[in-house]
Amino acid sequence: MTSPEGGAGTPGGTGRRRLVAATAALATVGAGLGLRAVATGDVAKYGGDALYTLLLVALVVVAAPSVSAWRAAAIALAVSWGVEFLQLSGVPAELSRRSAAARLVLGSTFNPPDLLWYLVGALGGWFAARPRGGRAASVARGPSARGSAGYAHRHG
């Protein structure tokens, strides 16, 4: 079955989309580390929040390359918000005291503005993962998405 998002159902489409998403995930980690190295304050904090959710969008596509862009963004946003609300329990704070990795992944303190910046990251991820217009997107979606009239015009 052909996916309307990114041609995951076409030969090589799933592998290519997974590779692009994995590359985007690595680039996002690099951007996050770079941001932490050069920026401080709100820029580092809120930029990191957006990049966190952007990374999750990429990881969702790596795990399930046929997922639609909006669904990948929604899943990433739900996970980001879930982790943020989990911080109200104190569990992430305790884990963060024991592990730098937990601190990076879970954070420690609930901060309502983070929710907005996670949304920004999810929208950026949706924008990056959405299908593009034009012939390339039409070819990736397959003949059923192009319609028989377009096929007949080109091949008739």
pLDDT at 10 (0 to 100): 55
CB 55 within 8 A of CB 29: yes
d(CA 92, CA 66): 32
Supply angle C-alpha 44, 17, 73, rounded to 5. 45
Query: pTM value?
Result: 0.77
Average pLDDT, consecutive stretches of 10 residues, N- to C-terminus, the chain (156 residues): 44 85 97 95 96 98 96 98 96 94 92 98 96 55 42 39
pLDDT at 111 (0 to 100): 96
Q: Which residues of 121-142 are buried (b: 16+ CB within 10 A; e: fewer)?
A: bbbbbbebbbbeeeeebbebbb
d(CA 81, CA 77): 6
In this structure, the chain runs to a length of: 156
